[in-house]
Each structure stands twice: as structure tokens, then as C-alpha cells.
Structure 1
Amino acid sequence: MTHSPRTHSPAPRWRALLALLAGLTLGFTSLPARAADEVRLLKAHSSVGSRYGQVWQDVSYTLLVKNMAYEKFVYVYQKEPDGTWVNLPGSYVGPASNGYEVWQVTRQYTSWGTTPEATRDLEFVPRIVVGGTSYWDNNWGANYHLGRNDGPLLKNTNVLVAGSYWRDTGHLDVSVDVQNLAYSKSVTVVYTLDNWATQAEAPAQYVPSYTYGYSYIQSPNAKGVERWSAHIPVPTTGGPLRFYVRYQVNGQTYWDSNFGQDYVHATPAP
């Protein structure tokens, strides 16, 4: 069976062409292999927004990919509404720890334009191709599933920063997604303005529901992911703000430190 990938990628033209050719011939030349650590799903997100009669679906996949070779082709193999499957090429985001890289696939399906596309529940499998061999994260043969407006799905992690931004008041808002492992839990943002010579903590609060663009997400959602939010009061002087997240539940502690690199924000101008 031959599967044709879509060809949206920020890579240079010659690399994009190679990726297209590789995707077109995967069914004939690649040797299937089951992934152990070569590719892992970290997060998937899907939401449906609507405004002024227009409807759209935002989809993103975040993958951890083992850096086995410079030349690699990273995809999410996704089922379409008509039952066919397509390869959605990924884009390199940056390094992770222990020889891994972060890659991401993003798509938006809109109800307008010359080729409107319907919203859809998602069934998908991350894959990479290295040296003619395919490696899959197929969720132990079950594939991954995510409802069209479920919001986030976390895999291979129990806590992950969803986003952060400065408010006009001078506060930094940090949104955190956690697996709902127990009712009693503690989520804390630990931060510094002097490269960890000193540090402070901002306790996060549970968020029962929230908006993502023009979509509404319940917390916890269908995948057992809760949203928490912390507010960091930051002075307008000092070095860049660095932070990580500590999640304590069931006597265990989990961390998101951006793969040991911290999350970093420049302090806003006064």
C-alpha cells in the first residue's frame, strides 16, 4: 500500500523534496519495525472553535524522536474522515535530553475556502523513517485516539507546561496540564530571576474549564488531563525569569523542566 504524505514543512526545498519522495515510496521500500524508544508521543491536542458562522479545528502533535541520524523523516500517520490514511510531516522544534529531539506536527481544518475540510475525531500513530526503516509508536497496537474537542492528551509524561504569557499587570501566567492521578495533588511553579542563586514558588490553582481560542475545554477532560494555572509576580528589573514545574501526587513528585533547560522569559520592559 502506498501512502502520500502532505508536504508542509519549513525545511529547505531539497530536504522537503527528499521527504516527499520518501513518503511516496514508504510502502515499497521501508522495513516496518516496532518502536521501543525511537519515537514517542508526548502530547496531542485537538479543539474546535467557531465564530461568525465559521468553524475550524486546531490539531497539534508533539513527539520525542531519538536522534539516530541527521537524515530522518518524522510523521504522524493519521486517519482521514473517509477512512484513508495520510502521513503528516513533522517540523523540528529543538533538542531534548538524552539524545532526543522534539518535533511537532500542526494542522488546521477550516470550514471555509475553496477546499473546506470537516472536523474529525483523531486516530493516529507517530512514525519516523531512518535509513529505510520505519519505527512506530502505535500505543501497543491500539493506535492513539482523541476526540475533536477533547483538548490535550498527555503520554510519557504526567506534567507539561501548556503555555505562559505576560499580563498587563506585570504577572506571568503559567498554564500547566497534569494527569489526574488522584484527587489530592499539588502543582507548583518554581522560578528564579538570578539564575538559581535564589528562587521562589508560585502555587498553581485548579482550573475547572478554560477556553482555547474560541473553543471550550472541560477540565479534567475525556483523557483525564487537568488544567492548572499559576501567577508569578515579577519585578521589571533583574535577569531573565527561569522556571520549572513540580507536580506532587500519591507520594510521588514529577517535574517538567523543559528537558533540563528550564522555561525562560525575558522580563518585560518597565
Structure 2
Amino acid sequence: MNKIQLLYVENVISRKKAGVRQTLRFFTRVEDVSYDKRIDVVWAGEDGVWQTLPASWHSKPEHDKEYWQARMDFRLAPDKSLPGNIRFGLRYQVSGVEYWDNNQGLNYSSQADSGVKLTCALPVLNIDFANKLDDGQKIVPVTVAADKFTDADKVTVHWTTDNWRHTHKTPCHFKRDHWDKEALSNARNPNQYGIAIWKGWLRIGQAFRLQYSISVERDGQVFWDNNFGKNYSVSREPLKILILNLHCYQEDNQDYKFSQIARAIEELNIDVVCLQEVAELWNDGAGDWESNSARIINDRLASPYHIHTDWSHLGFDKYREGVAILSKYPLTKHDARYVSGSHDVYDIHSRKVVMAQIRVPYIGSVNVFSAHLSWWENGFSEQFKRLCEWADAKQSAHVKATLLCGDFNIAAGSAGYHLVVDAHQYEDQYLAANSQGLFEKIFRVNDPHWQDYLNDDYRIDYIFLNKASGLRVTSARVLFTEQDYGRVSDHCGYFMVFEPK
């Protein structure tokens, strides 16, 4: 395809008591050349004045393609006319280069109040679709533009909410005016380009994800819109998890860094935060809640999260050092226990782990463990074994997934990492998201040379997901670097996103 391609334009005039309004909408497909991009509609109405309308990101149907959209609304006023008929082209600026889709230099046109015009040479196209499912939404409308198919025998949406293990078919109905009846009931001449508008409603209930495609049947032929072979997909908000070792109050500008962590949690809309080296003043072993670093971060959120924290041992001769979980959603269960043989609070290798069972909307119950284990030579093996046994005991039929999160003090490819791999129970989710070929060699094929592939991987912080879990990681990135929120610890953070399989 070209770097940018217009899929459809919509031009509608409505008349209500509040006045006359003209709405223009543009929908385009672009090649994802770089993150830093700009898409504009360059257009002119009947007054001949050329203007620029910025487009906004809509969705990402596949790894190298994106949908962008633009919309304008105009109200007729005594001193201001409507644009009426328009001419336009699309401009795509990225990496210092400019690309155009302007109908091969002739510009596109759209007549006033003409309805939908398809420009992509497709006989059927899904239009006006949302890029996510709203909280509480149980019905999804589907609007289909069929080119000159007002006499189609059947228009059908084929859909699933469980990745095509079960499928449904919902018929669509022909709509002479697919726009909101109250707003646009007096539209002058909708669909003058010969586009037939069909509408269907999918009842998805509490499903997390909807996938669908559309078929049009006419005179024994079947025409499809399956999103260029990828099917349409729309879902609820995924589960977003952050892990971070806080470095036990050893940072310069510590107070500012706590604020940066809180800022990242809010801006990235993170659901669950697993923290290690959480510290509060020792105070002769009694602790000091006001100085607890997890509490301070939590209190700096606009809406504080649910918090569960506990401590293991004396750290840096002045702190109670431990771990914590912050959760946007209530904790249905929580627990804490030592996984080390030692429970001596003056022994740095006394290691306690906290767990929380969290009910995540549209996903289900998830068991999350925040851990900070000892180095290999100081007891990692026995600690990890006890952690896995504890996690197994917490597993039940209604638990969707189990995630072991935090600082495991084992480098990727080390003996400790080998122990995790050889157990065939938990899998490294950062690797799954970013190096899928390597992930397959290590966790699925058990390539005898897998350790060699990790020579340059110095991570010791992980999210290990039980391979029997019903979740899959969709993205993973390093956080708190010079490129984003700055360094806040001697560790980086890891931010990962999960969806149901």
C-alpha cells in the first residue's frame, strides 16, 4: 500500500431546533514508519480557502499499520456559512519526509450532505467503529457501508468473544439514513454516491474482547471486509503492571523521585505496582509508617490505590526493608510470608514476599506476588522453590493467572534463570513480548544453546507468568530511564501489559 490511504469521507448536513450543522469526517490507513508522525487533512470549502485539520490516532490493526481519523463540525450562523462542497488531500509527515494521498494530484471531493463516500475500491467497509469497549458496555453497534449494494441479499457480522473458539452471526439491516435520527433526520440527500448503509448490534455481555468480520451476499457472490486479513478487534482496558526496586532510600533527590514514580503510575494508567526495597525508618524495630516509601508514593496519586506491604529485615542499618503491592482494584485476598529459611530480621537474606489476589474487571481474579529474593549463592534456589509452592497452594479454578513479580537477583542466562526455565512452570514475560523467537527457543523448544543467546541480557527484575495462566503479555518496556521519567533507582522499572488469551 501507499504510506497513507484514505478509506472514506463522510459529509452530512443536519437540521435541528438548535440550528443547521455540517459534519465532515475522514478515516485513513497509514504505514507506521515512526512513532513521531503527523497526519493532516488539507481542505477547502466553497469559499476556496485552504485549511489544515490535524488527524488523531484511532487504532493499530497490525504491527506496521495504523488508523487515523479527523472530524470537523460547523454550525450555520448569520455571519458564517457552512463549508458545503469540499476538496481535500491527506498529508503524512514523518522523519523529515512528506507523503500525500491527494487522488494522484487531482484532490478528493465530497459534495455537501452526500453521506459516505468510499475511496479505497472496496465493495464493503466497516465504518464509524470504536477503538475500545467502554466500561459497562454490553452492546456494540456495527455500521457497514456497501458500495451500490442497496439490494444485497444479506449483510452479516461474524464475531467471537473467545478468539474464535465459538462464533456468532448477527444480521445487519438496511438503513436509508444511518446517522442519529434526532440529529440528522432532515438530511437532504444522504448516500448520493450509491453507498448503502447497513446496521447491526452485537450483544457481547461482559466479554473482554470482540473480534469480527463482515460479509455481504448478493446474487450468489460473497464479499468480505475482514480488516485487510486481520479481522476487527476491540477490547476493554488491559491489565498494566509495573515492577520496580526502590533502592531503599539510597537515592539523591529521593522525594522528587517518589513524585516521578507517582506521575508515571498516573500517566500510564498502571493498574498494579510491585515494589521492592520498600523502606521505612527502623525506629527500634517498630517502624514508622509515615516514612514508608510505598505509602508516600501511593499518597501522591490523585486517587490512592489499595496497598499491601510487609518487611523482611533491617536494611542499611536504619530501615525496615520489605516489599509492597499497590492496586487500582480492591484486594480480595492478601498474604505475606518468609520464603527464606531464615526469619532473622537482622539477616539480610531473610526474605519475605507479599501476595494479593486482585479482581480485575472483565479479566477475573489474578494472583500477584511481589518478591525480592537472594542471590544464587545465598539461597535463591530454596526461596524460589518455596515461592512456587506457595503460589501453587493459592491457585484455584477461578484464578485467571499467577504472576511472580520483582527483583529475583538472577541474571538472564544464569544458573538461577536455568532453574526457572527447567521447571517448565513460569515464563519470562519481558522476553515473550520483545524477543519472541528467542522466547520460543528458551521456553518452548529448550534449545541447548539458549544460554548463549542471553549473554548481553543483564536483567535481574522479572515478571514470571505461570504458563497455565489465561493471560498473555502484549507489550513490555523499560521504564525510568533518561528517555522517559528519569532514573529513580539503581534499577530500571519494567512496565508490561496483559490481556486474556
Q: How does 1:190-205 map to 2 (within 5 A)?
A: 190-205=158-173
Structure 2 residue 142 is matched with structure 1 residue 160: no
Q: 228, 246, 253: which is aligned to 2:215?
A: 246
Q: 1:122-169 CA distances to partner (integer Å, 9 max, x unpaired)? A: 111111123443321122333211122112112223321435899xxx
Alignment-derived partner of residue 195 in structure 2: 225
Question: What is the aligned counterpart of 1:125 among 62, 75, 89?
Answer: 89
Provide the residue aligned with 2:145 in structure 1.
177
Deviations 1:217-246 (A, max 9, x none): 589822221111224455x56665443222
Aligned partners of 1:48 and 1:119 also within 8 Å: no
> Unpaired segments of 5 or more residues in structure 1?
1-35
TM-score normalised to the size of structure 1? 0.70
Q: Does the residue aligned with 2:62 lie in a helix, a strand or coil?
A: coil
Alignment partners' CA distance in 1, 2:168 and 2:36: 42
Q: Which has the higher strand share?
A: 1
Residues 211, 126 of structure 1: CA spacing in aligned structure 2 closer, same or farther, 3 A cutoff?
same
Q: CA deviation at 1:41?
A: 0.2
**Which SS does the other structure have where 1:209 is aligned?**
coil
Question: Would the alpha carbon gap of residues 53 and 70 (structure 1) be closer, same or farther in structure 2, given more than 3 Å must change?
Answer: closer
Query: What is the one-letter code of the residue matched to 2:10?
Result: H
Deviation per residue, 1:79-122 (Å, 9 max, x gap): 13321212211112221336121111111111259x74524211
Q: Secondary structure at the match of 1:214?
A: helix
* Partner of residue 146 from structure 1, selected from 110, 117, 120: 110
Which residue of structure 1 aligns with residue 9 of structure 2?
44
Q: Is the 8 A contact 1:220 1:227 kept in 2?
A: no
Structure 2 equivalent of residue 23 of structure 1: none
Cα separation, 2, equivalents of 1:265 and 1:112: 40
Q: Contact 1:208/1:219 (CA < 8 Å) preserved in 2?
A: no
Q: Could you tell me whether the CA contact under 8 Å between 1:152 and 1:225 is conserved in 2? A: yes
64, 79, 82: which one pairs with 2:29?
A: 64
Q: CA distance change for structure 1 residues 249 and 143 in 2, over 3 Å: closer, same or farther?
A: farther
Structure whose CA Rg is larger: 2
Matched residue, 1:31: none
Q: Please, which runs of 5 or more residues in structure 2 have no aligned partner?
A: 237-360, 363-501
CA contact (8 A) 2:13 2:21 kept: yes
Q: Distance in 2 between matches of 1:208 and 1:96?
A: 29
Q: 1:191: Cα distance to partner? A: 2.0
Query: 1:194 Cα deviation (Å)?
Result: 3.1
Higher relative contact order (CA 8 A, sep 6+): 1
Equivalent-residue separation in structure 2 for 1:120 and 1:159 (angstroms): 25
What is the match of residue 75 of structure 2?
Answer: 110
Tell me the residue number matched to 2:156: 188
Q: Check conservation: 2:147, 2:194, Cα contact below 8 A.
A: yes
1:84 to 1:173, Cα distance in 2 relative to 1, 3 A: closer
Of 216, 226, 231 in structure 2, the residue corresponding to residue 256 of structure 1 is 226
- Pair 1:92 & 2:61 matched: no
The 1:102–1:264 alpha-carbon spacing in structure 2 relative to 1, beyond 3 Å, is: closer
CA RMSD in angstroms, aligned pairs only = 3.3
Question: Is the Cα–Cα contact under 8 Å of residues 129 and 135 in structure 1 kept in the other structure?
Answer: yes
Aligned pairs, how many? 228
Give the counterpart letter for 2:173 in structure 1.
Answer: Q
Distance across 2 between alignment mates of 1:231 and 1:69: 36
Matched residue, 2:496: none
Counterpart residue identity of residue 15, structure 2? S
Q: Distance in 1 between matches of 2:83 and 2:231?
A: 36
What CA distance in whole angstroms lies between the structure 2 residues aligned with 1:150 and 1:37?
27
Question: Which residue number in structure 2 is paired with residue 17 of structure 1?
Answer: none
Amino acid at match of 1:227: I
Residue 135 of structure 1 pairs with residue 104 of structure 2: no
* Conserved? CA contact 1:207–1:219, under 8 Å: no
